[in-house]
Amino acid sequence: MDFKEIQDLLKLVNKTTLTEVEIEQKDFRLKIRRKAPDNKVVYQTSPEPATIVQPMITAAPTPVAQPEAQAAPEKPAAAPEPKKEESSADLVEFRSPMIGTFYRSSSPDVDPFVKVGDTVEKGQVLCIVEAMKLFNEIESELSGKVVKIMLEDAQPVEYDQVLFLIDPNG
């Protein structure tokens, strides 16, 4: 097991409610234990026992400013709708909490969880990220309108990569 696989496993344990995971191979042993009160992960390897404490990783939405619309000549009163959409500068980047494969729906023959223009609520499933043969439902951390989906279905995703742009005012 290499360092990258151990990192992925630590991130997976942080995302779940598991408190202990132990993996044993020929001459390699890995034990990951989370202490519930302070949300820290401890793991040991052998033959050289070592303890490393890593804080729990959480993905928080990051506000991003949208470029301001260029000044346009005044139009008749019939066009305020498009102008309103252009002025919304408070888009939030919804980022991936883990490395894996991005899926827009639970299976290929089912409609996607969300589409551009959909209004989402906090706690609503937006997508699935498959990591190490586990399918993790990724839930929205805010309410708003989906403005853009940044990835195609079944595309690899990195930790902290932007998945969606959400307008919290939408």
What's the pLDDT tens digit per position in 17-34?
Answer: 777 777 777 777 777 777
The CATH fold of domain 62-167: OB fold (Dihydrolipoamide Acetyltransferase, E2P) (2.40.50)
Pairing of strands 134-139, 20-25: unpaired
Q: How much is the pLDDT for 6?
A: 78
CA angle, 126 then 127 then 129, to 5°: 140
SS3 5: helix
Pairing of strands 40-46, 28-35: antiparallel
What are the residues facing 52 on neighbouring strands?
Answer: 43
Q: Which residue has better confidence, 63 or 39?
A: 63
pLDDT at 78 over 50: no
What's the pLDDT tens digit per position in 36-48?
Answer: 544 455 555 555 4
Task: Indicate the helix (H) or strand (E) that contains 80.
Answer: helix 80-86
pLDDT at 141 over 80: yes
Q: How much is the pLDDT for 88?
A: 47
Domain ranges of the chain: 3-55, 62-167
